[in-house]
């Protein structure tokens, strides 16, 4: 995985490393159980202090993204939902299902009739995006709706307790954000795990603006603004040429037409004033959008 690090940026090298490595993990550029470069190798490769790399690795470990293995190195940590997927094999799920029903006093004939009836029910007809951060949830819902052209609703993990919210829905969630949702769902069979776009995918086809160009970054999601700031400064852009707009605040669109172009997310893109050149940075990887589209084509009624 390639990293972009700027020593002249106002964002510390430590933070640039942490941000980009997390993006690498959630986008699946860095695989679960993959060994990261040693502190010495990474420091030498980018000509930075080894203590900086070590501090970044410790921060990632503290947040649960990586783990230290004594005498072996630093590895991408397997998250709890991945462990669930690995151990909840189909035969185990089915076995528990039948045992529970038999313990409740249902006969095999009754179970067989009920299962046969369930197969005659209507298939799911929409996706349910489960995400605890309400602003990120809105962006993801807009992105899936626009790119995959499917029906989708959003919910927080706490909403899964509401009756019938999961009825007719296929729950989906972003890698690293779905542990609480898994704990609340009675079945994980239909849960699709989504991955974020990698740094390389986000920047693909983008041309570096001229030195004097004013670039505006617009979003309602604070993490989008922070991530964009880290990446753009690491890529060598002048911080004085960047204008960050929190779209939750009044007057966020004032003077946008004077910017050379506007970087924004899928939710805000349609709301940018006319005559502005807009560059949309996608949150989701193309592979995840394709997976959603293909799932709907196979399983949703036409």
- Residue 232 domain-assigned (yes or no): yes
Q: Structurally, how many domains does the chain consist of?
A: 4
162: in domain: yes
Whether 156 is in a domain gets the answer: yes
Instruction: Say yes or no: 163 and 288 in one domain.
Output: yes
The pLDDT tens digits for 22-34 are 888 877 889 989 9
Instruction: Residue count of the chain, please give it.
Output: 302
Give CA–CA dist 128/166, Å, rounded: 7
Confidence at residue 16, expressed as pLDDT on a 0 to 100 scale: 86
Report if pTM > 0.75. no
Burial of 35 (0-12, 13-18, 19+ CB in 10 A): middle
Q: Is residue 107 part of a domain?
A: yes
Distance CA 278, CA 217 (A): 10
Q: Specify whether 267 is located in the same domain as 152.
A: no
In a shared domain, residues 149 and 258: no
**CA atoms within a 13 Å half-sphere pointing along the CA-CB vector of 122:** 9
Q: Are residues 219 and 244 in the same domain?
A: yes
**Which of 186, 178, 82 has its CA nearest to residue 130?**
178
User: φ, ψ for residue 46 (rounded to 5)?
Assistant: -110, 10
Alpha helical stretches, state H, the chain: 13-26, 39-46, 50-62, 80-87, 90-103, 108-118, 134-148, 179-184, 199-203, 222-234, 286-299
Does residue 244 share a domain with residue 111?
A: no
Residues near 246 by beta carbon (within 8 Å), at least 6 away in sequence: 219, 220, 222, 225, 252
DSSP 7-74: TTSSS-HHHHHHHHHHHHHHTTSS-TTPBPPPHHHHHHHHT--HHHHHHHHHHHHHTTSEEEETTTEE
Q: pLDDT (tens digit, 0 to 9) for every residue of the chain, 302 residues total?
A: 788 888 887 778 888 898 889 888 877 889 989 999 999 999 999 999 999 999 999 999 988 899 999 889 999 987 665 545 544 455 566 667 777 887 888 876 777 677 666 655 567 889 999 999 999 999 999 999 999 999 999 999 888 878 678 878 899 999 888 777 766 675 544 688 899 987 666 666 666 666 667 899 999 999 999 988 888 888 778 888 899 999 999 999 999 999 999 999 999 999 999 999 999 999 999 999 999 999 999 888 87
Does residue 265 contact residue 280 with C-beta atoms inside 8 Å? yes
Residue 178 sits at φ, ψ, to 5 deg, of -115, 5
**How far is it, in rounded angstroms, from Cα 192 to Cα 254?**
39
Query: Within a domain: residue 4?
Result: no
Structural domain including 114 reads: 79-121
pLDDT at residue 80 in the model:
60
The answer to whether residue 1 sits within a structural domain is no
Q: What angle do CA 135, 137, 139 make, to 5 degrees?
A: 75
CA distance linking residue 272 with residue 219, whole number of Å: 10
What are the Cα distances from residue 50, in Å, to 10, 18, 58? 20, 14, 12
The partner residues of 242 in beta bridges, in order of sequence, read 215
Collapse the DSSP code of 192 into the 3-class scheme (helix H, G, I; strand E, B; otherwise coil) and give the result: strand
């Amino acid at each position: 995985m390639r990293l972009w690090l700027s020593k002249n940026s106002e964002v510390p090298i430590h933070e640039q490393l942490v941000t980009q490595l997390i993006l690498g993990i959630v986008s699946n550029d860095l695989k679960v159980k993959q060994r990261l470069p040693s502190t010495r190798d990474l420091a030498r490769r980018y000509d930075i202090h080894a203590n900086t790399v070590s501090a970044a690795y410790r921060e990632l470990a503290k947040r649960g993204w990586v783990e230290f293995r004594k005498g072996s190195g630093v590895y991408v940590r397997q998250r709890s939902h991945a462990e669930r997927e690995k151990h909840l094999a189909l035969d185990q799920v089915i076995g528990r299902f039948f045992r529970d029903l038999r313990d409740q006093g249902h006969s095999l004939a009754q179970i067989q009739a009920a299962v046969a009836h369930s197969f005659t029910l209507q298939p799911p007809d929409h996706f349910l995006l489960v995400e605890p951060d309400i602003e990120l949830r809105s962006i993801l819902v807009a992105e899936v709706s626009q790119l995959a052209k499917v029906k989708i609703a959003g919910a927080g993990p706490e909403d899964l307790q509401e009756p019938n919210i999961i009825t007719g829905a296929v729950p989906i969630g972003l890698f690293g954000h779905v542990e609480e949702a898994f704990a609340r769902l009675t079945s994980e069979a239909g849960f699709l795990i989504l991955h974020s776009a990698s740094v390389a995918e986000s920047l693909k086809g983008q041309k570096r603006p001229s030195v004097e160009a004013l670039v505006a970054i617009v979003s309602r999601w604070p993490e989008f603004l922070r991530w964009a700031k880290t990446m753009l400064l690491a890529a060598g852009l002048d911080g004085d040429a960047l204008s960050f707009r929190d779209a939750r605040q009044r007057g966020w669109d004032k003077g946008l037409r004077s910017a050379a172009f506007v970087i924004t997310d899928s939710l805000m893109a349609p709301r940018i004033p006319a005559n502005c050149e807009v560059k949309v940075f996608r949150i989701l990887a193309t592979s995840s959008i394709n997976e959603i589209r293909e799932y709907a084509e196979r399983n949703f009624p036409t």
